[in-house]
Amino acid sequence: MRKTILIPTDFTVKSLNVLKTILVNSQNTDTFNILLVHGISLNDSIRDLLFYSKSEQIESLTNPEFQEACEVIKNKFGQQIASLRIDLFSGYNLAAFENYLEGNKVDAIFTCERKSLLINKNSFDLSQFIDKCSVKVTRINSGLNTSIPEKGKIAEVFINQVSMG
């Protein structure tokens, strides 16, 4: 069965542990359209809006370790991943978030217990909308609170301490 899932991201390798947990704990017959979403406020300057490029914004927010970790996950769990997309949400209220979920046909939201890092001055935490939305939300404990020498690095994707919470 194919499901579309939304996972909030702050473009850190640690935020991908939620995705890894889902893939490890799901049945091999499940396939997922994965939507990694970051909340960002748009500047209201007309000049900035005219020349705004979502792909350039995403490229400026991501880092090589995050992109490499995404590729590792796609290669390791290829048969379970129908698509993996990185997107930005820039709405200001719950109604806009509900429309975003409906437009992307999101079946479920998976998030971790920790707050997302605000990596940009315009970033905002999506939990204010996730907590109130109509889509099923599952909170995941990544189990990575122990001391890991590779913490924050690509090697963190290979650690198997995960659990559904």
**In the chain, where the domains are located:** 2-164
pLDDT (average), residues 20-48: 88
Q: Which fold has domain 2-164?
A: Rossmann fold (3.40.50)
* pLDDT at residue 80 greater than cutoff 60: yes
Chain segment 41-53, per-residue pLDDT in tens: 988 888 877 888 8
Chain segment 140-151, per-residue pLDDT in tens: 875 544 444 455
The DSSP result for the chain, as a single string, is: -EEEEEEE--SSGGGGHHHHHHHHHS-TT-EEEEEEEEEEPPP--HHHHHT--HHHHHHHH--HHHHHHHHHHHHHTTTTEEEEEEEEE--SSHHHHHHHHHHTT--EEEEESSPPP--STTEE-THHHHTT-SSEEEEEE----S--TTTTSGGGGG----EE-
On whether the pTM is more than 0.85, the answer is: no
